[in-house]
Structure 1
Amino acid sequence: MTGPHPSSERRAVLYVIACGSPLARHVGRLVELAQQDGWDVCVVTTPDGAKFLDPVALARQTGHPVRTSYKNPGDPDVLPPADAMIVCPATVNTVNKWAVGITDTLALGLLVEAQGKGVPLVAVPYTNAAMATHPAFRAGIARLAEWGVTVLFGDQFFPLHPPGAGERHLHAFPWALPLAALHERLCPVGQAVA
C-alpha cells in the first residue's frame, strides 16, 4: 500500500477519532500503521473515548497533543488541518449523533464540518450484536454511507460479538482495514497515481 500524496511539501494529515469502546485502548496500532504509510497522525477522542486511551503515550507517538474538548475562544489550533479522518472505533452513540448532525463534542464537530468540506471519511463502528440491531443505528449507518462516508460495518469486515464479549475479540481486530479503505477511497482501482 502506498501512502497519501500531499499537495504540498508537508505530509498529509490523518485524524484518528476514537470513541468510548475498549477497542480504543489499542488505537496506537492504527496510528503506527498510518505513520508507516506516510501520514502525519493526530488523535482526537470523544469524552468517553478518553477514558480508554493513554494520551501521553499517544502524544509521544504522534508528536501532537490528544484533543478531546473544543478549544477556548482565542486559543490557537494545536493540530494541523485534516486531509482525511478515520473514526475507529465508532460507537453507536457517535454514529447516531453524527447522522443527525449533533456536534456536542469536538469529535462530532470535526466530523460534521469535515463532511461539509469534502474531507474523506472512514467510519468503523464497533459494537455488540444487540446494540447493532437498533433501527436508529442502522439508519445512521445507511445515512452516513449515502452521504459519502466509507462505512466498514458487518461480518465481511469484523463479526459482531454478543453483549459483554467485546473484550474477548479485541485481539482479532483488523487495524489495517480502515487504512486500506481510506487508500482505496483516495486512489480508486484503475486510477493512475501521480
Structure 2
Amino acid sequence: MALKSTVFKIKLNVADLDRHVYEDFSLAVARHPSETDARMMLRVAAFAMHAHEHLQFGRGISTDDEPDLWLKDLTDSIDLWIELGTPDPDRLRKASGRAREVVLYAYGERALKVWWQKNESALARFDNLSVYSVTDDELAALAQLAAPGLELQCTISEGEVLLTSGSQSTQLKPSLLKQARGQ
C-alpha cells in the first residue's frame, strides 16, 4: 500500500514591500512521503516570494509535467513556472518553452556546485530563466518552522525574506546565479 501525502494547512500573511503585495492566503500544502519538511517549506517560501491570487502548487514531485508552483493566466497559458532543486536541464528547457518566466530555487550546496558547473553554459541560452541558490543553513531553518496548522508571517524587503511563526523566525536571501533577460 502506497503512503499518502500529508496535508499541511497554512495561514500565510505576505507583506512584500518590493512588489507592493499585502495579502493573506489560506494554503493546503500536500507533502509527498518522499519530500522533506525543508523542501516543503521552501515551496511555501517560494509561494510567498511570488504571491499572487492565482499562484498554485503543482501536483508534487511525483508529477513530471508540472512544476512545484505555477501561475496561469485566464487562457491557461503559463505565466510563471517555479522549480526547486537541481533538475535536469531538459526539464528547464521544456519549462522555458512552455512558460513566459521560469524561476529555479536550487539547493543542496555540495551537489549544487557540481550541477551548476556542469549546466551553467546550457542554461545560459534560456532567456526567460532565473536561477537562485538557497543555502543548507537557510533550508534547515525553514524546516524548523514546519508544523500542522502553521500561521506564518512573511515580510519581503530588498530581496530578503523574513518568515515568522510565533516566537520562531528565519531569514532567507536567495543568491542570484542567473538573471532572466529583461528582469
In the superposition, the TM-score normalised over structure 1's length comes to: 0.43
- TM-score, normalised to structure 2, is 0.45
